[in-house]
A and B are shown apart, each in its own frame.
Chain A
């Protein structure tokens, strides 16, 4: 079996609902920001 075959996406199938839709709320996560002075000579 070649590598290419191994890395093909798995055949995951969708199932269509007959009458309605799924509804949900998805929220995100904040990035925390860190100040860096990368080119100072302090270390």
Chain B
């Protein structure tokens, strides 16, 4: 008998590779097309397989901690079920066995061809068969999880497997990461939730890719209409006490999260009295697939402290070198009183990120970082028509506003900002303190107001997409020749090839904190010009005066970093990465007429990397502001680290970057010299 059964395949198009939140607001990214699948008639429907897996045991708990070998074994339990997909059909398998290897049976047959298996069956409802016959399941990490003493609920351990046919053995691969911890202190039994806040997406719906390999990836960027219903993406995971019970001291608890990189995080231990204990970590961590991170025992104390949501300024980092502190102020805008603790976490996370990047990392002890908790009457920021006229007003303290589709008119009320900083004694028009107004708005944007003398500079940067992933690209067209001086009407360009992107330049991904790094540390502190350019544009304006724009040269001779080029052989003997120093045409938004010192840096695509010359200038400025004397060439290179995380640290194999929205560069800085003329 041959019957025709309708199935549905969902084809993903390039246009669908758009995250749920994107500046260009594309909708309906998935097209649905109906296909007809014929029912197979397997000649021999019975497949018998031989187990070849070692290390099986008979334990009936889902996770077995092997403290000696530092592994956590995943054991099947009787009744466990998974679903296998192939050729438009599904086969459901169940086991009565247990252990790390078990026999499963299914009453269902599949057509010949590749099979994609997903555990547990109960959570396969997001499975998407692609047009090419492969499957990319969607799964969701719940943002609210219920603790299971010493383990996790069995349906929390998402596993996938691939086989060439239904008759093959299966090895399931873990998809997510876990964190294990214990608690101590008198208040443990009064805690009614534990929240892990990473400041970037760690839960919600995500696609699983590369199931055919032994290293499946997760994709937290592909957005699909209606995906939130499956599990809204969040920056945090909340762990509730075991059902019908309370948390207890000295018991292992586990929560599951997406394998992502984070810069600092918070754990909140909320009491049944509404108060909480907050534990902040400044660590940058790289959570990886199929790894369990053991935080050990966390002492939550014996009582809950008072509420954090109050206005005021506190020092998050305090200079400890004995020189004049170099001051960064991180200022809340568009946060209501109730949101100020969220602002603190975001600002601290931003500071942690900045001080993980050279040269700020090496010279961290020269800095004082003030976090300014300023309450607004309303959340967010005003919306303009793109030309400074407010179309949608929000009552916020510093009056931040910018356009719905454009952000070059991004502004705050500078008088209010400077008055605030002066009133707190931490900055102002005549202060070298560098300021960042962090705006509680999920739109994209970023701008800096700076001047030739580096006083009263401030960046404005929104918390785009609440910390969701963003990307930036390298220009697609550049000057054909780095060393030829062109003039308008006489120029040659070349396309930047995909091979160059892959091998020499890399792709920059990050979050709003990368925008902040570019605006605050590059423009505001370093007084750098942008190094990206608009297609076929000529700059003939010479060089700016004062401290500004030292990262560029307007001629082939006399670049500030010429001594680095002259000394390049010696530098390369210190570290081959110094071979990146040179003269590259393009910068200051012009393709021709300005030269930069390296091909790519934070001032092009917001990556967490300043070029060697930029690091030198930044270090010079740190030492100058600190009153710590002149920069010393040898000392600088002894302390320097030229590693670019984009090019020099292996790309993560368990995260897919496909679908992350690629943002345009932010607008050039506003040069504001009127106070000093």
A residues sitting closer than 8 Å to B (CB atoms) are: 1-7, 9-39, 41, 43
Contacts and interface: CB of A to CB of B under 8 A. Distances in A.
A15 B109 contact: yes
B172 A7 contact: no
Contact of B53 (A3, A4, A25): A25
Interface string B217-251: 00000001111011000000000000000000000
A19 B106 CA distance: 12
Main secondary structure of the interface of B (DSSP, over half): strand
B70 interface: yes
B279 A39 contact: yes
Name the 5 nearest CB pairs between A and B, nearest first.
A3-B226, A3-B225, A7-B226, A27-B53, A31-B72
A23 B103 contact: yes
Contact of B174 (A6, A17, A26, A29): A29
Contacts of B379: none
A25 B32 contact: no
Contacts of B161: 26
Contacts, number: 223
Given A24-B93, A36-B283, 11 more contacts: A3-B224, A9-B126, A18-B45, A22-B47, A22-B93, A22-B105, A22-B107, A29-B173, A36-B294, A38-B265, A38-B279
Contact of A20 (B45, B63, B76, B293): B45
Contact of A21 (B56, B106, B227): B106
Contact of B105 (A12, A21, A39): A21
Contacts of B10: 10
Interface of B: 5-10, 28, 30, 32, 39-40, 42, 45-53, 56, 63, 65-66, 70-76, 82, 85, 88-93, 95, 100-110, 117, 124-129, 159, 161, 166-174, 178, 180, 224-227, 229-230, 265, 267, 279-285, 290-296, 298
A36 B290 contact: no
A27 B109 contact: no
A22 to B, nearest CB: 4
A5 to B, nearest CB: 8
Contact of A29 (B9, B127, B159, B168): B159
Main secondary structure of the interface of A (DSSP, over half): loop
A16 B90 CA distance: 10
B327 to A, nearest CB: 21
Given A15-B109, A27-B170, A30-B73, A35 B93 contact: no
A12 B121 CA distance: 13
A26 B172 contact: yes
A21 B46 CA distance: 6
Contact of B45 (A7, A22, A35): A22
A1 to B, nearest CB: 7
Contacts of A37: 295-296
Contacts of A10: 7-10, 127-129
Contacts of B226: 2-7
B110 A35 contact: no
Contact of A12 (B7, B39, B74, B107): B7
Contacts of A34: 70, 291-294
A31 B293 CA distance: 10
A25 B293 contact: no
Contacts of B279: 38-39
Contacts of B95: 26
B70 A32 contact: yes
B397 to A, nearest CB: 32
B129 A12 contact: yes
A34 to B, nearest CB: 5
B74 A31 contact: yes
Contacts of B168: 24
Q: Which of A3, A20, A25 has the most CB of B within 10 A?
A: A25
Contacts of B282: 41, 43
Nearest to B90: A12
A31 B178 contact: yes
Given A20-B46, A22-B106, A15 B129 contact: no
A19 to B, nearest CB: 7
Given A6-B32, A14-B91, A22-B166, A33 B72 contact: yes
